[in-house]
Structure 1
Amino acid sequence: MADILTQLQTCLDQLATQFYATLGYLSTYHDNSPAIPPNVPNAAPALSKMTKNTTSPPIPASVAGASGPAASPPPPPPQQPGAGAGLQDPDQPPEPDSARTFASRQRELARDLIIKEQQIEYLISVLPGIGTSEAEQEAKIRELEVQLRDVEGKREAKALELRKLRGKLENVLGAVAVGIHGDEKGRR
């Protein structure tokens, strides 16, 4: 049972880690598009009514891409002195994944979470005592206690027998040692 409980705890720890990693990926690589479509009235408070934490709110990639060629491109992020052209500023978030890549990775992360949840369900289903009543579990415990006492009695009997055999062996080895060493001492 302890082995199943250890496996269950490991799976729960892994599931928590997967949740954390999934949330980290989703919050880091999304395209900042609104979760609620903008053409649904009263679905979400208007941006003008929301308090602003920064002076320039992020522009969703879907809105920036849909604005067409007439719109001016967003200004490039400021480059640090000595930074190469291909390097990204470490203070800036990474570029969002493409919609296809993001959706593919979402499905993969969701599948991994479902598989881990199914492993946990299986481990719970094979725990001893699942599906049995409290009275049945108590009867099984009493039966196991009787078996444990019987085995403990046998173990104590074997330990006593082992002590007797060790004593006999020590006597034989002592007699052999006296016989071998006794002759040599007598010759000197």
Structure 2
Amino acid sequence: MGDMLTQLQDSVDQLADRFIASFYYLERHHDLESFGPSDRIPDLKSDQPKEVDSLSPEVFQAGQLELARDLIVQEQQIEYIISNLPGLENSERDQEQLIKELEEELKTAEAQRLEAVKEKDEVLVKLDQVLRGIRRN
């Protein structure tokens, strides 16, 4: 589950990055237009950097479309990850039962591990005895 949560966090971070990139694109490449009588476009001096790098309407719209598609794809990836998270379709009682079953499996595995360690120690003692017997002869 930790891996799924990491994927979800990474996807949300990527979505935020795409939002920022979209805002930057829109702010940086829009047309300079006045929308009301009190709006004015300031004249830039030759040594001032341009605040807006206007693109042709076709290029600007194509960029908007690509950014929108990226946002939609990223959102769909997030939805997919969320739909695959465990526990969404299980009740609290089902989850508690699953935890109990996993605890029992863990106890069994630990008992097997302890038995294997005990067996390993016995084999090491026997091996040590055999090696000592070989050295004496």
Scaled by the length of structure 1, the TM-score of the pair is 0.64
Aligned position for 1:85: none
1:27-65 Cα distance to aligned partner (Å, 9 max, x none):
11111336xxx5xxxxxxx664x9xxxxxx327xxxxxx
Q: CA deviation at 1:76?
A: 6.9
Q: Which letter does structure 2 place at the counterpart of 1:116?
A: Q
Q: Distance in 1 between matches of 2:128 and 2:33?
A: 85
Aligned position for 2:20: 20
Aligned position for 2:118: 160
Aligned position for 2:7: 7
Instruction: Look up the SS of the partner of 2:69 in the other structure.
Output: helix
CA RMSD after TM alignment: 2.4
The percent identity for this pair of structures is 40
Aligned position for 2:66: 108
Gaps of 5+ in 1: 39-45, 51-56, 60-74, 80-88, 183-188
Q: Aligned in 2, Cα 1:76/1:142: closer, same or farther, shift over 3 Å?
A: closer
Aligned position for 2:93: 135
Q: Which letter does structure 1 place at the counterpart of 2:14?
A: Q
> How many corresponding residue pairs?
137
Scaled by the length of structure 2, the TM-score of the pair is 0.85
Higher helix share: 2
Q: Which letter does structure 2 place at the counterpart of 1:78?
A: S
Q: CA deviation at 1:107?
A: 0.8
The answer to whether structure 1 residue 58 and structure 2 residue 41 are counterparts is yes
1:63-121 Cα distance to aligned partner (Å, 9 max, x none):
xxxxxxxxxxxx77414xxxxxxxxx5x3224211111111111110111110111111
Q: Which letter does structure 2 place at the counterpart of 1:28?
A: R
Which of the two has higher C-alpha Rg? 1
Q: Distance in 2 between matches of 1:33 and 1:138?
A: 62
Q: Distance in 2 between matches of 1:33 and 1:163?
A: 84
